[in-house]
Every structure is written in structure tokens, then in C-alpha cells.
Structure 1
Amino acid sequence: MKADDLFHLGIVTDDLDATKDELSALLGYTWGPEVGGPIPVALPDGDRVVNLRCAYSITSPRLEVVAAVPDTFWQAGAGIHHLGYWSDDVDADCAELRDQGFTTEATRAAPDGKLFFAFARSSSGLLVELVTRAAQPGLEGCWAAPQ
């Protein structure tokens, strides 16, 4: 991982639309379409399908606003929830984070069996999201300016 791979700051909120509206009014952010839906994830207490809803800003620096998901680590709180990084090898980067004392909060497998994304938390509370770089072309559509 390197600093240049940071592509968003994630904020989890109880009210997705109100948070987007507030960031727009206060800081001039504009938003791509809401994306998400039910997705299978592996959590420390077992596999589960969660309904993830989020929107990425078109404006930079890029923000991701995520609707809180009950009974998971996707809970609203003060400030930034996570730092999102592109990864050329999510499995290897996640293993490196574990070697540095991070614990895995959630993972999602890609169709090829490798990790599509992973969330890992440091002992100080820093939460890092690793997303496969293979998803970059599709995700960039989430913050493309409306045509």
C-alpha cells in the first residue's frame, strides 16, 4: 500500500440523504448515483448478507457516504469512518495489515475466490478499506460527472 492509492474517505451515517445535503450546502460537494444493495460479506461472527447503500462524491477530495448497517461495524459516528485504498492484491495487503496487528472486520470475495474488498482495523482504531484495483473502472462511474 502507498499513499497515492488512497481514493476516498468514508463516512457512515444514519441518514444518507441528509448527510449528502449537508456536505453539499456546506462545502459544495456534488454526488454520483446511490449504489449498493444486498451483498454477501464475511464478518468475524460469520457470513452474512448486508444491505450496503452508498454514494461517492463527484467533487474531490472524494468522499463516500455510507448508510449505517445495524449490527455491523458500519455504524454512524463522529468523523471519518475509514480510509479507502486501491489494492493490486487485497489478500496480500490484508495479510500484511494483519502482520502489523490489524484485525479483519469484513471481507467480500470476488468471483475468482480472491478478495474483492477487506476492512481491517488497527489497535488504535484506524479502519482501512482495501478494494481490488480491478474494480476501479466500474467504481469510477460512481463519481463521473452527469452527462
Structure 2
Amino acid sequence: MSQNAILDPGDQFHIGIVAADFEATVARLTEVLGYEWGPEIGGPVAVGLPDGRTTELEIRCAYSRTTPRLEVVRSVADSLWQPAGEGGLHHIGYWSDDVAADTAQLAERGYAVEATRAGVGGGLFFAFLRSAEGFRVELVDRVAEPSLARCWAAPEVSGGAA
């Protein structure tokens, strides 16, 4: 890792795509690129906005079991969770040991905070930041790693000897 880098490339864990047609996007990624998927997860999420307001959004996504890991997110009207142009990259997700500190460092380098979610104990659970060039980074508290890893674990095989 570069001495001046804020984030470690080894902490990058997914590439996010926001889809206007979730089912078609997942089907295409499976058909053409051979991706396999974990379950769709999500629900209502309280999201902090740059103007200080908090709003509740229905955020749903699925992570690929296949690597490199993809996350396909259902589009959410009137939010930052909109498709990025012609099927383009929406964000790159990183684990963070201190989301608030990493967010502050990125903000010092010109990244604009677009959305955050409070975590347990008053810290940040996630943050979405956008660079002046439009590049978006998602920081996710590393405490979520074990539970999110279940989303892309191989499915359990039931049954046994017949």
C-alpha cells in the first residue's frame, strides 16, 4: 500500500452496480459472465444525508458468490442509488476499521459525503463518498464482515445418504 493512501487495496471487497431492472441485471451477469448469487438481502435503512436530515430508504441487494465479488443493488428513486450511466460502475466497497476516520480523511481530499448510516455506539456503520471526478467509494464497518460473508458463502447442501 502506498504510504499516502487512505485505503488499503486488500480491504476492497466488492464492486457495486445499481440496477434499474434487478432481475435482468442478475440474469445477464449469470448468463454471460457465469456469476452465481447469494440471497437478496435488505430492507428499510435509516440513511443520513449531507444536509443533516435522516431518511428511511428501502435498500435491497444481492452479492455474488463468484469472485471478483459483485453487489447488485435495486435502484431507489430520488437517491444516490441510481444506475450509473450505461450500466456503469456505481461504487467500490471497502472494509473499514474506523468508518468515521476514513470518511474524514477522504473528505479532506475532496470527497463529498453523500450518505451515511449510524452504527452501534454512535459511530458510522457505512458511508458513501463521491470524488470530484464522480468516482464513488463505500466504506463499511469491518464488524459486518462475518454477517455479510454469509451472503456469498456456498449454499448448504441438505440431504445425505438415500
Say which of 81, 85, 88 aligns to 2:90.
81
TM superposition shift of 1:18:
1.0
Q: In the TM superposition, what whole-angstrom CA distance separates every residue of 1:59-108 from its partner, at most 9, and x where no partner exists? A: 00000000010100110133110000000000000000000000000000
Structure 1 moving runs of 4+ over 3 Å: none
Structure 2 equivalent of residue 25 of structure 1: 31
SS for the counterpart of 2:121 is coil
RMSD: 0.7
Q: What is the aligned counterpart of 1:102 among 108, 111, 114? A: 111
- Opposite residue 133 of structure 1, the aligned amino acid is R
Shift of residue 43, structure 1, vs aligned partner: 1.4
What is the aligned length?
Answer: 147
1:55 counterpart residue number? 62
Structure 1 residue 44 corresponds to structure 2 residue 50 = yes
Gaps of 5+ in 1: none
More strand by share: 1
Structure of higher CA gyration radius: 2
Structure 2: 5+ residue stretches without partners: 1-6, 157-162
- Alignment match, 1:127: 136
Partner of 1:112, secondary structure, is helix
2:4 paired residue number: none
Cα distance between partner residues in 2 of 1:44 and 1:74: 15
Task: Please give the per-residue CA displacement for 1:2-52, whole angstroms capped at 9, x wherever unaligned.
Answer: 111100000001111111000000000000000000010001242100000
Identical residues among aligned pairs (%): 56
1:138 pairs with one of 147, 151, 162: 147
Corresponding residue number in structure 1 for 2:71: 64
Deviation at 1:112, TM superposition (A): 1.0
Q: C-alpha separation between the residues in 2 aligned to 1:143 and 1:18?
A: 20
